[in-house]
Amino acid sequence: MNLSILILIVMSLVSPSSAAHADYQDLKNDFETYAPPPYFESRTRSAPVPADAELPQDTDFETEKKRIREMKTLWERSLSITGKETSYVRIHSARLKKLRPAASDDKLAIARVRRKFSLADLEALVLLRNPGIRAEENRLRAAAETFSQISELDEILRKYTAYTEALMPGVGPMKGKDPVKMKFPFPGILALKGQIVNQEVKAVHENVEVARRKAVTAARKAYWNLVFVRKSRKITGETLKHFRQLETVATTRYKSGTTSFQDVIKAEIRREILEEDLRTLREKQRNIEAKILELLNLPPGVQLGNPKDRKPAGKKISLKSLYPLARENRQELRRMRAMIGKMERMVEMAETMILPPYTLNLSLYEDEAVMKTGSAAMKESFPVSTSASRGAGLPKMPWYGTQDAYLRQTRQKLRALREDLRRAEAMTATMVRNAWSELDRARREAALYGNTLIDLSRSALDVSTRGYESGTVSFADVTGSYTNWLRVRLTLDRKRSDIGIALADLEEAVGTALK
């Protein structure tokens, strides 16, 4: 009896435990296999992004990118040499088309300069072949590539915010996934970046113009020096023939006893001096030709033809009109203005990023993920610690003071650049005045020798020669007349070439062609 009662009691205790264990297993299985309703999943999970998905269209951003690409294209086109692009020297399109094959073919260039060549031909060949100009053009191409780098970082950030973060539908107008700090101050900041790079490329472009100006000026000076040396060799050779004849006459008269041996010695001395002058002029001509070959990037030893132009062209130029022309066109001044423009836009961009202007307050919150709580939260919903650089009471922008100091420093540098520009403008005015004075002096002296002194020296030589033949003029007077006639002729040609050289210096000081 007692045993049966004990068995019943034990069975009554074990049966509820087994049932409870079975219910717990079912509850555990249901919990592990639970899935939220589709509506909840659609609200908490970002939609899958297709592989070929594009960024949300931002018309302002795309417009600025298009403008940047257009600026790059314009700068690349500026490297072409036509009658309009280069401000310092203008080449006729027909001449440029004719000489362009010689830009990369040494044989064609050598064949062209071996014949008679004009100053315009030399200028065109220098612009096409000079290594210094090509180097600056390559630097300009490298600077133009900066345009494509402007929006790269912004594109990466926009892709990140579009592909990895979710939309907060409860905050602001639902216009897309871009956070406010990416939408504002963009695309204004992107536009400022484009303007900064544009100003920098503009400064590099002025370096190209400076290289062209210096190379063309050197070619012009070498050309007119070559004209003078060739004329000098011709004049000196003609005078040498006269002195040889004079030496023969003096020797004959000495043998006949009508003159002294001193006259023979004087004639021989003058002949030796002129022969040495001819050798010196020959070496000067080779030096000038070597300079031209250097500018054309041709091998040394190439024989050059005779220059076509004998007298420099150009009308009288008013000094008063040159000052504003130089302030506007001189490449160094334009380069400084470009650097000033670049720094002004850098200051504006920094001020915009630190202290943004007025906003309509459309959306003040970023489009971060909804999950900010629990074990699946992507980030804390509020700060949980204080960094060493951001203590209690300090602003949320710990580097604000540093940026403000940098802005003050940049503003001072900007003021310094503006003062440098004023100083450079004053120096340019002095350079223009000096170059114009040299040109005016060369014109006046060339007119004096060409209109007056050359005729007087020729008349004096004729009178001395006839007087010496008749025995009324001494040998010293005859040699003096020949020497004076030689000096006047050489000086006349020197002054005519100086007109071309002074005009080249004046155009270099002004920074543009004056013809």
Judged against a pLDDT cut of 70, whether residue 21 lies above it is answered with no
* Amino acid 59: pLDDT: 65
Residue 63: which residues within 8 A CB-CB, separation 6 or more? 187
pLDDT at 266: 84
Say whether pLDDT at 119 is over 70: yes
Q: In this predicted model, which residue has the larger pLDDT, 402 or 324? A: 324
Q: What is the mean pLDDT of residues 264-284?
A: 91
pLDDT at 185: 42
Which region among 128-137, 274-283, 370-379 has the lowest average model confidence (pLDDT)? 370-379
Three-state DSSP at 335 gives helix
What is the model's pLDDT at position 331?
92
| 387 or 288, which is more confident | 288
Q: Taking residues 118-133, what's their average pLDDT?
A: 92
- Token code pair at residue 117: 């060549």
Share of residues in the chain with pLDDT > 70 (%): 70
Q: pLDDT at position 330, please?
A: 93
Amino acid letter, residue 19: A
Mean pLDDT, rounded, of the chain: 78
Residues 130-178 pLDDT 10s: 999 999 989 988 888 887 777 676 676 666 655 555 444 444 444 444 5
Handedness of CA 233, 238, 241, 245 (dihedral sign): negative
pLDDT of residue 436: 95
pLDDT at 40 over 60: no
Specify which of 59-63, 247-251, 422-426, 450-454 reaches the highest per-range mean pLDDT.
422-426
Cα-atom radius of gyration of the chain, to the nearest Å?
A: 43
Contact at 8 Å (CB) between 436 and 319?
Answer: yes
Please state the pTM of the whole predicted model.
Answer: 0.74
Buried-state track 120-139, b at ≥16 Cβ within 10 A, e below 16: bbbbbbbbbbbebbeebbee
Domains and CATH numbers, the chain: 60-169+176-310+321-356+396-510 (1.20.1600.10)
Q: Exposure string (b/e) for 319-339, b if CB count within 10 Å is 16 or more?
A: eeebbeebbebbbbbbbbbbb
From 38-52, 238-252, 270-284, 338-352, the region with the lowest mean pLDDT: 38-52
Residues 6+ apart with CB under 8 A from 275: 240
Cis peptide before 187 (omega within 30 of 0): yes
pLDDT digits 0-9 by tens, 191-204: 788 888 889 889 99
Reported as a single tens digit per residue, the pLDDT across 338-357 is 999 999 988 888 777 666 55
The residue assigned the tokens 């003609």 is 238
The C-alpha atoms of residue 159 and residue 154 are separated, in whole angstroms, by 9
Q: Is the pLDDT of residue 129 over 80?
A: yes
Q: pLDDT at position 393, please?
A: 47
